[in-house]
Structure 1
Amino acid sequence: MIFLFSQFFDVMAWVYVSPKFDIIRITKEISEFVVENHRNGFDGISKIQEMLQKELVGKTMFLVLDDVWNVQQNEWEMLFLPLRAAKLVRVLVTSRNDAVAQAPHIVSPHRLQVLPEHECLKLLYNCAFGVEGMTAKEWSLDIGRQIIKKCGGLPLAVKCIGRVLYCNKDQYSWWEILSSELWESDELDPIFCALKVSYYHLHPKLRESLLFCSLFPKGSQLRKISIIYMWMAHGFLQPKKGKRAEDVGEEYLVELQMRYFIVPCTKNSFRLHNVIHDLVRSLSMDKIHTIMDEQSSHIPDKIQHLYIRRGNNICQSFRPDKRLRTLFNAALRPHGSFVDLNDISLVRVLGLIGSNVLALAHSPLKHLRYLGITEFNDKMLPESICLLCHLQTLEITHCYHLRYLPTNIANLVNLRYPCGN
């Protein structure tokens, strides 16, 4: 939708807000759409706003704030303060809360209604058969009407089920999908029922790959190539019929997008649809955990993938289980409090911020396949990285002072993807 307005505005931006209205994060993400060659060098809200205000002078802007849950009037005022430097700004807010939608006090909110039955049926047929085959299957009319009733008039549910039917075009398969017990699992939420049916019709490896993407905070913009490297590190992608694992990963992304589980952001990035994120996390069986603030620091015992938002410290009593395979943004220590390197010796994917990289000097991480380093301020990476004998991917981002690679980098004989920006 946002591309429809490109001819009328100099700047267009889309930001996912989430239940927590983080004014600094939201302002930073807006600035990334405005400032060319953006660098996350500023942490203070005043510096970010000053930079944003300077870049917007005389420009027109269209801004989407998606999925706003809770916001105070003073927060709106602070967010919009640097935007007033622009010549013209139009803001579209999406929310499931009428009070939030009315907060800016500019235009009355527009409530989206469910699709009528004939529109749902048209959408279902379009997804299941394509435009040319919309009237090709007479037997599908009665079954299709029963299916869309279960979808509750919700377009995302209809589209996801339509893609399942696209891969199962015979009459028996349609009856089997209609009769699935999964429709009865969440009686009050038809969209979750429809998405469960669609999710469980994915190939097991594809389900596993989608599940991993839900590790990152809701609304996160994920780089396609980075996710493929992480999938490879976990063994989700197996070469087949002369295709490389990377090619299989690309096929996974295409299929997940075709089934509406992921939403493209740019040519090279995507995000999980918000409802999909909720569904997948509900099915993760405590294998995946994301810490967003100090109040959410309890970590399940059998965790396999752990993400800790920057600036948060996990509880000191946490000792990872040997099943832990992914760890992002942790406060690493060679010995003692927080995460002990000896406790994560079987981790395959590790993401580190800043000086935490230096803890790798005591590294026993011989099973590590993917290492992501961001905002490391030294001129050279620690030599101990060269001991990571199975490392396949070394991804370096926002390390603006880095000038040299370790002397023995050639020892990383399995390294396939040294990359950075």
Structure 2
Amino acid sequence: MGTVLDALAMKILSNLGDLIQDEVVMTLRVKKDIKMLKNNLEHFCAVREDAEALAMGNTVTESWWKEMRDVMFDVDDVIDLFMVHSKNPSQLPRLSYTEIDLLKQAIRMAGGSYDVWKSDVWNELLQTPFETGLNALILVTTRNRNILEQMHARYTHKVNKMNSTDGLELLMKRSFRPDEQTNDGFWDVGRQIVQNCDGLPLAIKVIAGVLSAKRTIVEWESIRDSEWFTHGLPEDVTGPLYLSYRHLPPQLKQCFIWCALLPPNFEIKRDSVAYWWVAEGFVRKEHNYAVYQIAEDYYHELIRRNLLQPKPEYVDKGISTMHDLLRSLGQHLTSDHSLFMDAESKEILPKLRRLGISGAVQNIPAIEKQKFMRSLLIYNNKNFKSLNEYTFRNIEHIRVLFLSGTGILSIPQSIGNLVLLRLLDLSFTDISILPESIGNLISLEYLSLLGCHKLNSLPSTLMRLSNISFLQLDQTAIDHVPKGIEKFQKLYNLRGVFESGTGFKLGELQELGLRCTIGMSRTRCQTNDVGRIQQVYEMLVPSPSLVYIFLIGFPGVMFPEWLRSEPEQKLPNLAHMHLDECISCSQLPPAGQMPELQVLQIRAADAIVTIGAEILGKGVISASAFFPKLELLHIIDMRNLEYWSLNMGNLFENMEAMSQQLVLMPSLKRLLLLDCPKLNALPEDLQRINSLKRIHIEGVHMLQEIVSIPSVVWLKIKNNRSLRKISNLSGLQDLFAQDCPELDQADSLIALKRLYMVDCLNAQPFWKCLPKDQGLLIHIATPGADGRDIFPDESLYN
């Protein structure tokens, strides 16, 4: 409601100054009107916060908000059209006087009031999924007691609210860094704030997100004394949730409520949502920062405020989800202009601005009737099978068109009418051709064709799209791109690189200045082309600001020089490195001294037999640690790997003195070893890594024992045929073992609290080796899983 108005007003204000001097405005004689609109909007921004608070409980004020919002949406559309057409004067006649009048209507609206009331509609989040379960125990979690009654639940466990002591500890932990000092005043005010949260952990966390930006007791007292209970909220949405939303900056409010348009438990990918927000105009450019970097900062700020929940397996927080109560809040705040349709939705509003449609919806509404829509997102819905010419002629104000996984087979020529379209995602559809009119999408910045397996060519008009910053061509039948890709000077993220005699040369990529991610998919080549491709990769010297690199299917016998020789100098900002299916490289790059590397994945490097000191780097000059920021290490599908060592001794002349002074992987949290059948031992130096908490070992058939890694608290072992012994893991609390037939010995597992063993033939002698007096919780099933992973979800243990 107020969020939309506030953000739109600020966006329009930032454009109006430039627009006043524009030739289009002079021609259409609306300069005076625009100046008046600008003045009124500045006044509106000054009183916005108080008016928004009044609107939550006042029918007349709320109605004014809604009417004002509709006009502001239209004004934003007109201004965007002005700005697009001013760059293309030949399209000026398309502007109608009706659109011009919208500017004057907005001015009148700034002082008007209207008596319009629309009843609120509350849709249940849950429905009965099934009547009975055969041969199974079904665990249902719900806040709706009626659900349990409908399912004839045999046992009901009511989760107690968090007590005040634990609540205060959670609040303070989330509000301050571990190394920050706090005085008693913060604890006293925090105790009172926790009482207002009524023992709800989610409420405490989101309020802590607000408090984390407040560093004085006066500011904390201001939060404590705020209005905690707001009329008109959905039943399960508590006042603290809305309070945390109210304290967001305007641009973050828009980003937050936009996420409510996504399906429940949807994996929100940072790279994608940043482009969505930019396409909608939520992100304000600041100084010399790339707008996509600013959008990513917004994403991380929502995580810091506990409004998005990062998935624990992604150390960079690149994927997150939204709690269903926060999603309900977002949907409530936008219920009069945005809708997410699921199987239970019965009707849609006549003037939607944003529409999301789940894969469960059988009857797709008439899209062409939504003439004012700005975002259309249809998720994996095969019932959506066609787009006609009429559709795109009517939704010409759309900015975001997301049709991933739908049943469409073709795109009509009329898509060229969408001159405001900034994001187009056609991934995983069966389209076989793109229309030539796609070259008319002069505002397009994001184009994803990922997984369009039937698409084998791109129209030459694609090269007109000079604003393209994201282009994804992976997993298509495309083997060349029209010449001229070097003209994409704004290209920020390229995924899928091809070369043929009729397309561009890979050398042209040197002119692009890719700054964020280079995704290199397996190049289509014959054996005699390997040398030529190696040469091309040598030419692809990335920018020093590169953060991610995915090297997939590289056919050369050695990694490019910029990766194998002092990469810490050439790629000082690299945080993620994935080396997948580099089957001919016999030695890994010396990544150990890369200062920012957080994630390293090595997969399917068939030529590698040993991993030794070469990965740590060639000698040490100034570094005090090897892999100083590495948090995740994944070694996967290494079928010929036999030996792995982290011994630093042979890097120095004075072996003892130097190796003891250096720290090895001081930030490593998780190690994954998967399908390395010939590896016979873990490196002895793992015991030096005090930060290593989780290890997952699966398909390492020659490994016979896991010993002396005192820092590990969580260990999962699966399908390791020769593993017999686990010992001297003094910090281990959770052990999950499956399909390890020889495992029968345990020693010095003094901290173990939970043991799961499935399909382990010697489970009984193994657990009998454990102390009987440490309150151990044991779960044993044999036989039973047939190779399926039946352990509790790992995220439960974060």
1:350 aligns with 2:401: yes
- Tell me how far 1:415 sits from its aligned partner: 1.2
Match of 1:396 in 2: 449
Alignment counterpart, residue 248 of structure 1, candidates 294, 301, 311: 294
Would the alpha carbon gap of residues 273 and 321 (structure 1) be closer, same or farther in structure 2, given more than 3 Å must change?
same
Q: How far apart, CA to CA, are the structure 2 residues paired with 1:244 and 1:218?
A: 30
Q: Pairwise mapping of residues 87-166 of structure 1 onto structure 2 (< 5 A)?
A: 93-96=140-143, 110-133=157-180, 136-166=182-212
Q: How far apart, CA to CA, are the structure 1 residues paired with 2:236 and 2:326?
A: 13
Q: Is the 8 A contact 2:437 2:461 kept in 1?
A: no
1:381 aligns with 2:438: no
Q: How far apart, CA to CA, are the structure 2 residues paired with 1:113 and 1:127?
A: 21
Alignment counterpart, residue 375 of structure 2, candidates 326, 332, 336: 326
- Tell me how far 1:333 sits from its aligned partner: 2.0
Q: Kindly provide the CA deviation profile for residues 16-62 of structure 1, in whole angstroms up to 9, marking residues without a partner as x.
A: xxxxxxxxxxxxxxxxxxxxxxxxxxxxxxxxxxxxxxxxxxxxxxx
Q: How far apart, CA to CA, are the structure 2 residues paired with 1:392 and 1:285?
A: 28
Match of 1:308 in 2: 357
Match of 2:239 in 1: 193
Q: Kindly provide the CA deviation profile for residues 129-187 of structure 1, in whole angstroms up to 9, marking residues without a partner as x.
A: 334446x2222333222211110111111111112112112122122211212434479
Q: Is the 8 A contact 1:151 1:191 kept in 2?
A: no
Segments of 5+ residues of structure 1 without an aligned counterpart are 1-66, 81-89
Q: Is the 8 A contact 1:150 1:183 kept in 2?
A: no
1:238 aligns with 2:281: no
Would the alpha carbon gap of residues 124 and 381 (structure 1) be closer, same or farther in structure 2, given more than 3 Å must change?
same
Would the alpha carbon gap of residues 309 and 363 (structure 1) be closer, same or farther in structure 2, given more than 3 Å must change?
farther
Match of 1:50 in 2: none
Match of 1:287 in 2: 337
CA RMSD in angstroms, aligned pairs only? 3.1
Alignment counterpart, residue 251 of structure 2, candidates 205, 220, 231: 205
Would the alpha carbon gap of residues 318 and 173 (structure 1) be closer, same or farther in structure 2, given more than 3 Å must change?
same
Alignment counterpart, residue 172 of structure 1, candidates 193, 198, 218: 218
**Greater shift after overlay, 380-389 or 269-278?**
380-389
- Tell me how far 1:100 sits from its aligned partner: 6.2
- Tell me how far 1:195 sits from its aligned partner: 0.9
Q: How far apart, CA to CA, are the structure 2 residues paired with 1:187 and 1:104?
A: 28
- Where 1:241 maps in the other structure, the secondary structure is coil
Match of 1:72 in 2: 130
Q: Is the 8 A contact 1:199 1:207 kept in 2?
A: yes
Q: How far apart, CA to CA, are the structure 2 residues paired with 1:289 and 1:412?
A: 31
Q: Is the 8 A contact 1:378 1:401 kept in 2?
A: yes
Q: Is the 8 A contact 2:128 2:150 kept in 1?
A: no
Match of 1:419 in 2: 472
Match of 1:296 in 2: 345
Q: Kindly provide the CA deviation profile for residues 314-334 of structure 1, in whole angstroms up to 9, marking residues without a partner as x.
A: 445972243x21112365321
Match of 1:87 in 2: none
Q: Kindly provide the CA deviation profile for residues 331-371 of structure 1, in whole angstroms up to 9, marking residues without a partner as x.
A: 53212xxxx32221111111233436422445311111000
Would the alpha carbon gap of residues 328 and 222 (structure 1) be closer, same or farther in structure 2, given more than 3 Å must change?
same
Would the alpha carbon gap of residues 391 and 317 (structure 1) be closer, same or farther in structure 2, given more than 3 Å must change?
closer
Q: How far apart, CA to CA, are the structure 1 residues paired with 2:415 and 2:150?
A: 52
Q: How far apart, CA to CA, are the structure 2 residues paired with 1:72 and 1:312?
A: 19
- Where 2:350 maps in the other structure, the secondary structure is coil
- Where 1:327 maps in the other structure, the secondary structure is strand
**Greater shift after overlay, 304-313 or 390-399?**
304-313
Q: How far apart, CA to CA, are the structure 1 residues paired with 2:415 and 2:244?
A: 45
Would the alpha carbon gap of residues 113 and 286 (structure 1) be closer, same or farther in structure 2, given more than 3 Å must change?
same
- Tell me how far 1:108 sits from its aligned partner: 5.4
Alignment counterpart, residue 221 of structure 1, candidates 253, 267, 273: 267
Q: How far apart, CA to CA, are the structure 2 residues paired with 1:400 and 1:122?
A: 52
Structure with more relative contact order (C-alpha pairs < 8 Å, separation 6 or more): 1
- Where 1:328 maps in the other structure, the secondary structure is strand
Q: Is the 8 A contact 1:183 1:193 kept in 2?
A: yes
* Structure holding more helix per residue: 1
Q: Kindly provide the CA deviation profile for residues 239-286 of structure 1, in whole angstroms up to 9, marking residues without a partner as x.
A: 323211111111111111111111223534222111110111111152
Would the alpha carbon gap of residues 184 and 369 (structure 1) be closer, same or farther in structure 2, given more than 3 Å must change?
closer
Q: Is the 8 A contact 1:345 1:365 kept in 2?
A: yes
- Where 1:149 maps in the other structure, the secondary structure is helix
Q: Is the 8 A contact 2:258 2:330 kept in 1?
A: no
**Greater shift after overlay, 386-395 or 307-316?**
307-316
Match of 1:55 in 2: none
Q: Is the 8 A contact 1:297 1:314 kept in 2?
A: no
Q: Is the 8 A contact 1:143 1:175 kept in 2?
A: yes
Q: Is the 8 A contact 1:377 1:401 kept in 2?
A: yes
Q: Pairwise mapping of residues 255-274 of structure 1 onto structure 2 (< 5 A)?
A: 255-265=301-311, 267=314, 268-274=318-324
- Tell me how far 1:110 sits from its aligned partner: 4.5
- Matched residues, number: 337
Q: How far apart, CA to CA, are the structure 2 residues paired with 1:238 and 1:188?
A: 31
Would the alpha carbon gap of residues 389 and 115 (structure 1) be closer, same or farther in structure 2, given more than 3 Å must change?
same
Q: Kindly provide the CA deviation profile for residues 75-122 of structure 1, in whole angstroms up to 9, marking residues without a partner as x.
A: x449x7xxxxxxxxx986533356867999999554321111111111
Q: How far apart, CA to CA, are the structure 2 residues paired with 1:362 and 1:375?
A: 19
- Tell me how far 1:73 sits from its aligned partner: 4.0
Match of 2:510 in 1: none
Larger Rg: 2
- Where 1:363 maps in the other structure, the secondary structure is helix
Q: Is the 8 A contact 2:234 2:332 kept in 1?
A: no
1:181 aligns with 2:236: no
- Tell me how far 1:420 sits from its aligned partner: 4.8
